[in-house]
Amino acid sequence: MSNPTPEQLRFILQNGILAPSADNHHHLRFDVDQSGVNVWYSGDELPKAGGYKRVLALLSLGAVSENLTVAASRYGIRAEPVLFPAAGKPSLVFRAVWAPTDEDVRSLWKEIPRRHTNRNIRYRGPGLPSDDRTRLERVTETLAGCGLSWLDDPRTRRQALGLMRLAEGERFRNRVLHEELFGAIRFGVGWRWGCDEGLPPGALAIEPPLRPAFALLRHWPIMRIVNLAGGYHLLGWRAADLPCRFAPHLAVITGRQTDDATIFSAGRALQRVWLEITRLGMVLQPMPASALYALEGAQQEGIPPGLQRRLNQGWDLLLPGRFPLMLFRIGRGAPPTVATGRKPLESYWLGG
């Protein structure tokens, strides 16, 4: 095996940054040597263990790692990830080491630029055949500690949607989460254009007649008045229940525990499932709030203790012995009219 050429390396790294990230913002930097790629967290430090912000960061970095692996497989190379490879360097999150590969993921590299978050409210059927569902379960289980559970039978979905409504409604009721939600939306670009970082409002699939009202809700005094009338209940229903109720599939990637290695693997699993779904001509929308806010450490990041306990207990009943790490809906849908972009690859070089 030879190391990638400069052209191949650029292709691999370019595909790496096409992985999903929280609010379309990759907190990472690359540097390269003869044997692999170092991936550094570009913030001051990773969020503290136990909270949902660290989970989001590691899920995103796991997805980046999976894209590097899939893209490198085009050239018969594996980008083998090593998590936290250097003691005393906590910002060096993982190292992708070049190695030979015979993994059957080579065809998936074509799906990386086609993958996108589809927030259109209506997903159509038909759903996945049982053979494809089983294959996705096996793909997930190849990553240590991870599993894939389907929430498709009516009773299970009804219980899951109740938890999702609670979490999504809290994003509008809670001032800290409200600022986090609306702070990521780039209203200044308008409803017809994308952007390289952050979320363009046109990608949110808000119905045109509702867009002016939604834009006003970014102002907390207005949101607070709306909430006095229980508006957060309706918004939670619109954000979670309505799009998920009739989607062909609702699924969750789970972990046996919530340590860094399992969460990183869950990010890899999410991306591989997403690429497989894209290959099958279907679309996917991650909906992680109800899982993330169930974490005990979420209380230190603005989640009310009562809500955290309700979510934690609800998921424990649905998934005994497992922890939900990422929920998503799957179906068939029209492509979004506005998509997010990425900054130039050069901006992700260490020291760049």
Residues 86, 179 within the same domain: no
Q: Could you tell me if 313 and 289 are in contact, meaning their C-beta atoms sit under 8 angstroms apart?
A: no
Alpha-carbon dihedral sign for residues 240, 62, 11, 108: negative
Residues 181, 249 within the same domain: yes
* Helix or strand (DSSP H, E) at 81: strand 77-83
Is 53 a member of any domain? Answer: yes
**DSSP letter (8 states) at residue 251:** E
Residues 41, 188 within the same domain: no
Is 68 a member of any domain? Answer: yes
- Which range of residues forms the domain containing residue 17? 6-100
Residues 233, 134 within the same domain: yes
Q: pLDDT tens track of the chain, all 352 residues?
A: 578 999 999 999 999 999 999 889 999 999 999 899 999 999 778 888 888 999 999 999 999 999 999 999 999 998 989 999 998 899 999 999 998 876 655 589 999 999 999 999 999 999 999 999 999 999 999 998 999 999 999 999 999 999 999 999 999 999 999 999 999 999 999 999 999 999 999 999 999 999 999 999 999 999 999 999 999 999 999 999 999 998 999 999 999 999 999 999 999 999 999 999 999 999 999 999 999 999 989 999 999 999 999 999 999 999 999 999 999 999 999 998 898 989 999 999 986 5
Query: Which CATH number goes with the domain that contains 320?
Result: 3.40.109.10
Q: Which strand ranges, in their side-by-side order, compose the sheet holding 92-100?
A: 28-33, 36-41, 92-100, 77-83
